[in-house]
């Protein structure tokens, strides 16, 4: 896979991130941060309950604490973008 052809992928990620951010605003609206945190904890509990033999990487991330939500939307976007760029960079050396 050539890295040059992946610029479209980055644009799609940015568009999806913006759409998701708006969707979250619509879903949670003016919910207090404590309520949002509780919903995220419930989601984390669900992920942790998944069978490790079927979802080994996901359940390991959740159990290690690596799946915790970043402090804010910008930090979340930057972390995700960093992961994508590192993945694409791995193809550049191939």
CB under 8 Å to 50, separation ≥6 — which residues? 58, 59
Residue (of 16, 39, 17, 42) closest to 27 by Cα position: 39
Judged against a pLDDT cut of 60, whether residue 1 lies above it is answered with no
Look at residue 28 in the predicted model and tell me its pLDDT: 76
Residue (of 7, 9, 4) closest to 91 by Cα position: 4
Which of 50-54, 56-60, 71-75, 81-85 shows the lowest per-residue confidence on average (mean pLDDT)?
71-75
| pTM check: above 0.85 | no
Average pLDDT, the chain: 79
Look at residue 53 in the predicted model and tell me its pLDDT: 95
CB count within 10 Å of CB 26 equals 8
């Amino acid at each position: 896979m050539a890295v040059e052809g992946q610029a479209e992928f980055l644009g799609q990620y940015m568009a999806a991130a913006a759409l998701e951010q708006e969707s979250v605003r619509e879903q949670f609206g003016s919910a207090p941060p404590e309520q949002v945190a509780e919903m995220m904890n419930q989601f984390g509990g669900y992920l942790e309950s998944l069978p490790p033999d079927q979802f080994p990487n996901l359940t390991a991330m959740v159990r290690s604490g690596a799946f915790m939500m970043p402090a804010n939307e910008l930090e979340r976007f930057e972390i995700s973008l960093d992961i994508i760029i590192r993945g694409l960079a791995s193809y550049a050396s191939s």
